[in-house]
Amino acid sequence: MRTTKLKLAGVAVAGAMLLAACGGGDDASSAAACEVGTTDGDLYLYNWSEYIDPDLKTAFEEQYGVAVIEDNYDSNEAMQPIVAEGNSGYDVIVPSDYMVSIMIEEGSLMPLNLDAIPNMANLDPVFYPAPYDPTGAYTAAYQWGTTGLGVDLTVLGEDTPRTWGLIFDPELSANFGGNITLLNDPRETLGAALKYLGYSLNTTSAEELDEAKAVVADAVARIAAFDSDQYDELLVSGQTQVAHGYSGNMLYGIYDAENPDDYTYFVPDEGGTIWTDNMALPFDAPHPCTAHTFINFILDAENGAALTNWNLYGSPNAASEPFIDAEVLENEIVYPADRSKLEFITNTGDFETNFSDAFSEAKG
């Protein structure tokens, strides 16, 4: 799912921007000269954890005679500086929408050789080209979803209000204070506080961000953990009652619970995040042909459906729809009909460092 067991330490985006000069260079100016289905070594994948069906990795290994070695990260801000510095050793990364635009600007992504990825034609035009990669030169959409709240209905009740106040309002959260988790992610968590306050999660107002920081800081005493890894497991095991997290991961956890009807997931009425994760190559990917072949493999219609059927996130692959399970296609958590209150997180430019700093200060 779109969470992780962190294996490599990340640093703030602010520090990474100082490294951007290391990430540009001549290597980022042209696509790799690869043909369809060719490989040039094993695949080193840097991904959110539990976000790819292990059977798909095995199938790729068997079909192409290479190994897939995967490491994981828990936020875009942890991944980005590692790639921007160079010599990360990774061939494919999976950045979210706003981070794609940051990485394109700093020169840390390699342009794709589209001739080596014919299955790009399978992507829904909604996702290709995307606003954060307007020429479609650097990324292929992987999965999409929302960010909201998972709750224990046996504690909160069926009529619990669908609001971010379940975390940020001291009175609403009084009965389960200390049994709440928030994502360990600056844009997502401050974004939730901003939506609670009635602001855009893409604000560039220092005053609005300060308000959101204060809301998060006030909630710290009621928070069990800032967690981007086990929040769904903590919820369905009864250790927490409210969990901030990603739609597919939460739904997966609920399905696995002993009593699935005791839990639900929703985007609060104030609105929340809709996001798209994407496959891309670091500017200095050591095995670019294997990387292109892997992207083309994932964009196969049946493989794309297998990915969504396994991790319960929306597929950007239009050709996959006939192969996606009906219960997944018809699930409002996976494919919400009303997206009017959802916002994509966008690149706020120089203001990005304010989010990282505010999050660190709010956590204390």
Same domain, 41 and 164: no
Which pair of tokens denotes residue 250?
A: 């939460």
Same domain, 178 and 307: no
The amino acid that residue 32 corresponds to is: A
Same domain, 257 and 155: yes
Residue 52's CATH number: 3.40.190.10
Q: CA–CA separation, 294 vs 300, rounded Å? A: 10
Q: CA–CA separation, 283 vs 95, rounded Å? A: 14
25 pLDDT higher than 50: no
Sign of CA dihedral 172, 333, 130, 315: positive
**176: domain range?**
145-274+341-352+359-363
Peptide bond into 316 cis (omega under 30): no
For the segment 215-269, what is each residue's pLDDT rounded down to a tens digit? Answer: 999 999 999 999 998 999 999 999 999 999 999 999 999 999 999 999 999 999 9
Mean pLDDT of the chain: 92
What burial class does residue 97 get, using C-beta atoms within 10 Å of its C-beta: 0-12 exposed, 13-18 middle, 19+ buried? buried
Same domain, 221 and 348: yes
Same domain, 214 and 299: no
Q: Give the per-residue pLDDT at 175.
A: 82
Same domain, 128 and 214: no
Same domain, 89 and 222: no
Same domain, 255 and 280: no
The amino acid that residue 133 corresponds to is: D
The number of folded domains in the chain is: 2
pTM: 0.90
Dihedral-angle region of residue 318 (phi above 0 means left; psi in -120 to 50 means alpha; beta otherwise):
alpha
Which of 260, 341, 316 has its CA nearest to residue 127?
316
86 pLDDT higher than 70: yes
Which of 60, 279, 102, 314 has its CA nearest to residue 187?
102
204 three-state secondary structure: coil
For the segment 287-306, what is each residue's pLDDT rounded down to a tens digit? Answer: 999 999 999 999 999 999 99
